[in-house]
């Protein structure tokens, strides 16, 4: 079921928020160590907000999957629609839902996917 994979990403975002909370409470210099500058990136409260909004979208798609079980031809499209909602929010160029952090994450994902093609100096 494709919804389980989406849940893993959501749990990763919430877990990252827990890590940010722990780093801020234990005075870890995460700006230097992990290059997460709080002026340019989200803090742990905003990370929890993103994770729980994604979790609400995921729960609504699970609820739709359960309630529409009698319509078997619709079931394969529900995970695709929820993935499409997440993807549209991720690539949306408008200034809402922490655009700078979304674009930073997008650049990081592209860098990780195409790592062998980048020259390291």
Say if residue 50 is exposed, middle or buried (CB neighbours under 10 Å; 0-12, 13-18, 19+): buried
User: 10-13 contacts: CB < 8 A, separation 24 or more?
Assistant: 10/51, 10/54, 10/55, 10/58, 13/47, 13/50, 13/51, 13/54
Rounded distance, CA 51 to CA 54, Å? 5
Element (H, E) at 86: helix 77-91
Share the mean pLDDT of the chain.
Answer: 85
Structure tokens at 9: 């990403």
- Please tell me the predicted confidence (pLDDT) of residue 120: 67
- Please tell me the predicted confidence (pLDDT) of residue 60: 94
Nearest-Å Rg of the Cα atoms of the chain is 17
Name 46's Cβ contacts closer than 8 Å, sequence gap at least 6: 98, 101
- Please tell me the predicted confidence (pLDDT) of residue 121: 63
Return the SS3 of 121. Answer: coil
The domain locations on the chain are: 1-114
pLDDT in tens, 51-72: 999 999 999 999 999 999 888 8
Report the predicted TM-score, pTM, of the whole model to 2 decimal places.
0.78
Low-confidence ranges of the chain (pLDDT < 70): 1, 37-38, 118, 120-121
């Amino acid at each position: 079921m494709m919804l389980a994979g989406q849940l893993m990403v959501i749990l990763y975002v919430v877990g990252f928020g827990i890590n940010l909370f722990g780093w801020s409470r234990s005075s870890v210099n995460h700006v230097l160590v992990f290059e997460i500058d709080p002026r340019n990136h989200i803090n742990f409260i905003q990370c929890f907000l993103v994770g729980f909004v994604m979790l609400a979208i995921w729960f609504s798609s699970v609820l739709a999957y359960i309630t529409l079980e009698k319509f078997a031809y619709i079931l394969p499209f529900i995970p695709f629609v929820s993935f499409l909602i997440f993807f549209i929010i991720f690539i949306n160029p408008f200034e809402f839902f922490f655009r700078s952090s979304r674009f930073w994450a997008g650049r990081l994902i592209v860098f990780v996917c195409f790592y062998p093609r980048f020259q390291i100096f």
